[in-house]
Chain A
């Protein structure tokens, strides 16, 4: 049973560029959340996708956008990259019927460095 997979694992971009990160949820999961984790900090919620719609959004600018596909996989796009966007981007999946217990299954993350 495959867990949450993310790609790429590491990438380097320059300021002003755009980046797309990808996530495949754990088998059977239909809800995907994205988090940004700066060094030494806890994960910060970006947004959550369910049924191909953005269900909730955290306090992130419109430069951060996403998408969910019919197979429940998801993408995170960041435009006009800033140095401060350098972080580990984590994808977490869950099953909508398990929202109550709320256990999130995280991927290994995509480490983005903006130069």
Chain B
């Protein structure tokens, strides 16, 4: 099975930087995803990491360390609209291509 752990809730100030961590334990590994989900809306894809290192995409960056079973999502220049749940999802190495989602981290951005 898989175990994915991420903080339940985080708060930050508009304009600041926040890092949302995700740790996982899987039998094999075939990619890690981050999705954003605003309240009452569909999850939307943010990033995909399969190799170690940092992937940067505008204000958002995602980092992966496969040896540590660890990833983080870095959000810079926070905006009020970034208040949402951030879901970490991991695919194991069984060839299923089905990601398992964590519980999500609810980020609240204050003015």
Which A residues contact B (CB, under 8 angstroms)? 4, 33, 35, 40-45, 48, 56, 58, 90, 99-109
Contact = CB atoms under 8 A, between A and B. Distances in A.
Interface string B20-43: 000000000001010100000111
Q: Which 5 A-B pairs have the closest CB atoms?
A: A42-B101, A106-B42, A99-B97, A103-B45, A106-B43
B97 A42 contact: no
A102 B42 contact: no
Interface size class of B (residues with CB under 8 A): 20 to 34
Given A42-B104, A106-B44, 4 more contacts: A42-B87, A45-B99, A56-B98, A108-B41
Given A42-B104, A102-B91, A4 B97 contact: no
Given A42-B87, A43-B87, A102-B31, A109 B101 contact: no
11 contacts: A42-B101, A42-B102, A45-B100, A58-B98, A102-B31, A102-B97, A103-B33, A104-B35, A104-B45, A106-B42, A108-B41
A44 B1 CA distance: 13
A90 B42 contact: yes
A109 B38 CA distance: 13
B70 interface: no
Contacts of A48: 98
B31 A4 contact: no
B47 to A, nearest CB: 10
Nearest to B44: A106
A17 B31 CA distance: 39
Contact of B42 (A44, A58, A100, A107): A107
Contact of A41 (B91, B97, B98, B104): B104
A80 B48 CA distance: 38
Interface in B59-100: 87, 89, 91, 96-100
B60 to A, nearest CB: 15
Nearest to B8: A40
